Amino acid sequence: MREKLKALAELQNVDLEVASLRKAADVHPRQIAELERELGVARSAIEAERARVTDMERQKAEREQNITDEKDKVKKWEARLSEQRSTREYSALAREIDIAKKANLTMAEEQVELIKQLGLAREALKGKEADFGTKQQGLSARMAELRGKLGESEAQVKTLEGRRSGVASAVDSNLLRRYEVIRKKKLPALVGVVAGTCQGCNMNVPPQLYNNLRTSLGTDVCPSCNRIIYAVEALQETPAAAK
């Protein structure tokens, strides 16, 4: 009975190690997702800045074209002044020319201010792009590190699962079936009983059951939590075994 118990305990040690690795690795995908979100926010911000600069450049080009078109229109009107037959027509066209020139002057002043703001925006974008590049490099390195750790954990789990197959083959088939059923619900599925108390649920087991466990050095089921239980003495090395 003691050998059956030892085989099952060894199997559970493997399962506990696998569970521990998986629990520790579970945090990595969440951390990677958070870093990807942070990088996405930073990328969106820099793209918004680029779009703002692009829009200002579009405005600058459109205004330059408008100014050119308006100047050409004024030149044509000025050329037509001498063609006006009446003083009234002449005055009306001269007034239109004056209004157009003032509008052109206003547009030119606005263009100067836009060019100034565009220059500042380009410089700001240049700095933000440099900062984004540094941040992207750092976040990418951190994500690569986490993916590496995740890969290592998966490799360790795969190795342990391979080892588990060999360990499980040494466990009594009936005991193994019971263990697997319990393991799917809670782990550890195999727990010791110390001074009459189940270490899985901290409830006292019936005295007769405890005595049987100590005598047989085998296993039974906890009446409270339904885990497989054993007397801890069963896995303790005796002087004879130690020799």
Per-position DSSP letters for 214-234, written without gaps between them = HHH---EE-TTT--EEEEGGG
Domain boundary among 168, 202, 228: 168
- Residues with Cβ within 8 Å of 151's Cβ and at least 6 positions away in sequence, in order, are none
CB-CB contact of 192 with 229 (8 Å): yes
Confidence label for 239 from pLDDT (cuts 50, 70 and 90): very low
Confidence label for 240 from pLDDT (cuts 50, 70 and 90): very low
With a cut of 60, say whether residue 181 has pLDDT above it. yes
82 versus 214: the higher-pLDDT residue is 214
**Same domain (yes/no): 87, 133:** yes
Query: Average pLDDT for residues 91-111, to the nearest whole number?
Result: 92
**Same domain (yes/no): 100, 182:** no
**Same domain (yes/no): 102, 219:** no
With a cut of 70, say whether residue 148 has pLDDT above it. yes
Domain boundary among 123, 142, 168: 168
Q: What percent of the chain has pLDDT over 70?
A: 97
CB-CB contact of 107 with 70 (8 Å): yes
**Same domain (yes/no): 11, 103:** yes
With a cut of 60, say whether residue 238 has pLDDT above it. no
With a cut of 60, say whether residue 173 has pLDDT above it. yes
Dihedral of alpha carbons 243, 217, 2, 182, sign: negative
**Same domain (yes/no): 106, 125:** yes
In the three-class reduction of DSSP (H, G, I as helix; E, B as strand; rest coil), residue 228 is classed as strand
DSSP tag of 204: B
**Same domain (yes/no): 106, 38:** yes
Q: What total number of domains does the chain contain?
A: 2
Domain that holds residue 50: 2-168
**pLDDT confidence of residue 237:** 65
